[in-house]
Structure 1
Amino acid sequence: MIRIKAGVPRRTRPRTRARRPLRRALALGLPTVWGAIAITYKLTCPLAQQNSLGARIVTSAVFFAVGTGLIVQVRRSLLRELRQIRQIAGAAQNALLRPLPPRLDGLNIAAAQLSAERGAVVGGDLYEVIATEHGVRVVMGDVRGHGISAIGTVAAVLGSFREAAHDEPDLEGVLRRLERALARHLRERARAEHPASGGLDPDSPVAEEFVTVLLLEIGRDGEVRGLNCGHPWPYLLSGERVEPLARADPLPPLGPFPLPTELPFVCCGQLLPGEAVFFYTDGAEDARDTRGRFFPLRDALTAAVAQHPLPTPQSVLGSVFTALLRHAGGTPTDDVAILILSNDRRPAWPTSGARGTARQATTAQHPTNYPQHNGV
């Protein structure tokens, strides 16, 4: 089915159709002309029939020019097709992991992703921020593996989150929707790769796939709630302090084990005006230098916050990514995704001393009873 892009005048389409046969004719015609010139010279030119050294040099020069022209023409055609393929791939990747707005419901946003697959923009990491009637909802995840092979799973999880974030009144419902979407995707993938099995074989490599998922909800009053399945907790940037947003043990990742019957959320206190939350995937902490040392993410965050008088999400993101690439000596071996949200809303409560009081009170009211799990 051909889909017409909205806003494109209809009168421009026949011109585009008329240009395609002309381009094809030129693409085939120029090599044909070059070949015809070479054959005509060889058959009709008297100089080409002579065996003297000068005649051979001239004949070689003519065929060299013809061959060079053919190579240049083929190279131009291949580069043109490569540019078109990259444009199509870039549009598809942007539709999958679409660029986030710089500001959403009073929150400033900065995000970046680096794929370990050369030439790819999207890898096995995923993130999304959506403003809903229930608050701003955030997902950060990491698919097992990296690069292009993980894109299918990323699409399944992100597509489910973009619907569930608006439909489900609480984070528990969103997480269960993600679990069902992942299970369907893995079953369909198993049937496609092994039609004879008829389903998801426990011994199949597909059955070992998993996704770490972190769900966060930021209310209008700055109240932060979260559900974590095997993902690193984000950092809270408060002034020059860098500390984990929560310390509760996460649930196992989605995929290998079913979710428990009860999913108690973790209340992370309030995100006060001027504070920020730094999300990341484990590729940031696992990046190594030439000596095998891991990237000191928390130290890099502390330095990024300290070197800017008024740090913004964009400045912190640039500083951390620069330090990460310098540490890894170029592109890391694993996908890396970073997302920063800062509260730029007007303060509606006293900020002096509110951080510690609010965090202690909410932690006492909502104790966590997650099973022990060290993540992945």
Structure 2
Amino acid sequence: MLLWGADGMIRTGAQRCWRGLVFALPGLWVLGVVAWELASPLGARFLQLLAAAPAIACAGTGRRQCVVLGGGCALFALVPLGPTGRTDGGGRLGTCCAILAVVAASYLTTGRSRRLTQELERVREVAATAQHALLRPLPPRLDGIALAGGHLSASRGALMGGDLYEVQATAHGLRVVMGDVRGHGLPALATVAALLGSFREAAHDESSLRGVLRRLERALHRHLRDRARTEQAGADAHPAEDFVTVLLLEVREDGGLVLLNCGHPWPHRLTPAPGTGAPRAVALAPGDPLPPLGMFPLPAEPPVHTAERLLPGEVLVLHTDGAEDARDATGGFFPLPDALAEAARGTAAAPAAVVDHVQGALLRHTGGVLADDFALLALRNDREPVPEHVPPVPARSCLRG
């Protein structure tokens, strides 16, 4: 905490120094031009350079200083300075007019730039609010499970793209969805909205993960048909070709894991290695996944897989393929299991710490340039241990005398 506070103080001090320099730069420019004019032994005219001072002031500090400084520069231009100042009255008047013209142009340009900047900030605020409403922030704890999620978009300026995740506490257990829509960025947001809306209802209504998956399939097909009608403006338009990888997870009361996978990467379990006790990331692979949702019709009985119980203190990490496909400048793939194991070391495997560490490692590996969206969801079992077997209580008999 001390190092972090010191670093923050250094950054704050540097920002203050920069703001002070920007504020003083126009004044320093004026002083330099006037001093150069007075000290020049050749009789050259340098006062024309005063016209740059208002533009510098507008670019750095704003319109008010631009007008004040411009007026001062115009007065300086009328004052006879230097060896030729007393004889060149027409030049002084021309310089004054040029300075006033620059002041007017800079004032109008700065006002338009400020209005555009404010409008852009409002648009970004609305977009951020809409995206946060779509991919809602997760609570830190839900039904005894600690949660943390994060998302990195490959599209500049977008908070999210084609990746999705959601967690719901239901009467059937804690249910989780992690998905990846084909493509990324803002065009995939409509498909993400359709799937998340369907999952939030189906997770509570359906008694099995198969029922939840079928609801997601119907929602996807309905969305694609509506999109095709909108794009082609025809009643007989065929559904657009699109698909989504989906992983459904159910965490039961005793920590048992039930999974249904449609072409999505399997999650990783953070668990101590045998012998050393150091944390390691082990990928779950309970069976073969189905094809991505939307490519083929679902079978009559989609295979539901089970995995070993998530013990108290263990962490399960779900992710999209944006991490496995990420490469550095030399073409090397991102070592996701190593990053997960390193994240769990020394942090008590806190979900938020795992997400932050992996995201930072991924950005360092790729140099901040992502080829695909990346989503990460970490769950830690904070429930009380469930005994394997509860011995029966012997019956007590009452004897009447």
TM-score of Structure 1 vs Structure 2, range by shorter chain: 0.7 to 0.9
Kept in 1, the 8 Å contact 2:175–2:248? The answer is: yes
Are 1:322 and 2:356 counterparts?
A: no
User: What is the rounded CA distance, in whole Å, between the counterparts of 1:316 and 1:350 in structure 2?
Assistant: 30
User: What is the rounded CA distance, in whole Å, between the counterparts of 2:300 and 2:166 in structure 1?
Assistant: 26
Partner of 2:93: 55
Partner of 2:337: 298
**TM-score (normalizing by structure 1):** 0.76
Partner of 1:156: 194
Partner of 2:285: 246
Stretches of 4+ aligned residues off by more than 6 angstroms: none
Q: Report deviation, 1:332.
A: 1.3
**Matching residue's letter, 2:329:** T
Partner of 2:179: 141
SS at match of 1:112: strand
**TM-score (normalizing by structure 2):** 0.72
Partner of 1:273: 312
User: What is the rounded CA distance, in whole Å, between the counterparts of 1:167 and 1:249 in structure 2?
Assistant: 27
SS at match of 1:286: coil
* 1:167-182 superposed matches below 5 A: 167-182=205-220
Greater relative contact order structure (CA < 8 Å, 6+ sep): 1
User: Which among 191, 195, 198 is matched to residue 229 of structure 2?
Assistant: 191
- CA shift digits 1:45-104 (9 cap, x unpaired): xxxxxx932222111111110111111111111111111111111110001000000100
User: What is the rounded CA distance, in whole Å, between the counterparts of 1:196 and 1:101 in structure 2?
Assistant: 43
* 1:28-107 superposed matches below 5 A: 52-107=90-145
Q: Report deviation, 1:145.
A: 0.4
Partner of 1:120: 158
Kept in 2, the 8 Å contact 1:245–1:277? The answer is: no
Equivalenced residue count is 300
- CA shift digits 1:333-352 (9 cap, x unpaired): 1100000000001112269x
**Matching residue's letter, 2:194:** A
Q: Report deviation, 1:264.
A: 2.7
**Distance 1:142-1:309 versus aligned 2 partners, 3 A rule:** closer
**Matching residue's letter, 2:335:** P
Q: Report deviation, 1:272.
A: 0.9
**Distance 1:309-1:178 versus aligned 2 partners, 3 A rule:** closer
User: What is the rounded CA distance, in whole Å, between the counterparts of 2:281 and 2:380 in structure 1?
Assistant: 14
- CA shift digits 1:24-56 (9 cap, x unpaired): xxxxxx9xxx9xxxxxxxxxxxxxxxx932222
Are 1:111 and 2:149 counterparts?
A: yes
Identity %: 55
User: What is the rounded CA distance, in whole Å, between the counterparts of 1:178 and 1:287 in structure 2?
Assistant: 28
Kept in 2, the 8 Å contact 1:120–1:148? The answer is: yes
Flag structure 2 segments of 5+ consecutive residues without an equivalent: 1-62, 68-88, 273-278, 390-401
Partner of 1:27: none
User: Which among 264, 267, 275 is matched to residue 234 of structure 1?
Assistant: 267
Partner of 1:289: 328
**Matching residue's letter, 2:162:** G
* 1:199-210 superposed matches below 5 A: 199-200=237-238, 206-207=240-241, 209-210=242-243
Q: Report deviation, 1:310.
A: 2.0
Q: Report deviation, 1:122.
A: 1.2
Kept in 2, the 8 Å contact 1:238–1:274? The answer is: no
Q: Report deviation, 1:120.
A: 0.5
Larger Rg: 2
User: What is the rounded CA distance, in whole Å, between the counterparts of 1:241 and 1:86 in structure 2?
Assistant: 40
Q: Report deviation, 1:303.
A: 2.2
